[in-house]
Amino acid sequence: MIAEANGRRIAYDERGDGRAVLFLHGFPHDRTLWTPQLQSLGMRAHTIAMDLRGLGESQAGGPYTMDAYADDAVALLDHLGEPHATVVGLSMGGYAALALWRRHPARVRSLVLTSTRATADDDATRARREEMIRRLTSGGSEAIADDQLAGSLGRTTRRTRPELVRGVRTMLASAPAAGARGALEAMLARPDSTPTLATITVPTLVLVGDEDVVTPERDARYMHERIPGSRLEVICNAGHVCNIERPAAFNHVLGEHLAALS
Ligand code: MLT
């Protein structure tokens, strides 16, 4: 579906009734990343998965910042008549979820920070992103797909699930180049969210796969130790996109988090 929100077309899928759960994907994904969650949790919640601006089928056009992603998400909640939502962000989606909390705390019922980190980029990461922008500009998303794929999936998934490996590669390689470039710029410009962590007053679940090499368990522990009352769960045999690598385990923990809110 397409919403006109925050002055642009935002693509989204929704399923189910009940309390709103808004899913924000990572880089350079699209809303189909969350299909296993909409299929499972749509039985007991109003699940919403959106494409961040410029990615999937959402309209491209700057500014590309975490704040802009957060404002788009809130505009979509307005469009859907949802006063607040549990915000589930994976990796870059987690950076946007933290911006959403900073800018619109009243719209956040709870937070689920998955495969993400609070800190800003270090120098090596900044250099790697700038190199990716150059490759994207000359070769499109296909030119960065294999590098992204290497970090996306855990070793167990790479060894045992060739069809999932192919599916994730297709998603990475088909990302619109302008939106992917914008996302890299947004990640480069994002602030250190460490000071934000202590301000979080809503129930928060921190999730990570034990085979995640992009945002490893120490990043999750760093957030967990600083977010008052947060819960940390480590999903075994899963890498960076743990929600599609181990969907049953992911949905179980997320389901517990949602049940505890009522
Ligand atoms: C993502 O999955 O969103 C990215 O790996 C995050 C990042 O590069 O920092």
From residue 189, alpha-carbon distances to 108, 115, 119, 256 in Å are: 23, 19, 12, 34
91 lines ligand 1 (CB under 6 A): yes
Q: What is the pLDDT of residues 3-18, one digit of tens each?
A: 999 999 999 999 999 9
Q: Which of 92, 98, 172, 184 to mutate to test the pocket of ligand 1 (most atoms within 8 A of CB)?
A: 92
Total Cβ atoms within 10 A of residue 123: 7
- Which pLDDT belongs to residue 108? 98
Q: What is the pTM of this model?
A: 0.98
**78 touches 5 (CB < 8 A):** yes
Q: Please compute Rg for the chain using Cα positions.
A: 17
**pLDDT one-digit tens code per residue, 77-122:** 999 999 999 999 999 999 999 999 999 999 999 999 999 999 999 9
Give CA–CA dist 95/199, Å, rounded. 15
Q: Is 148 in the pocket of ligand 1 (CB under 6 A)?
A: no
Q: Is the CB of 171 under 6 A from ligand 1?
A: no
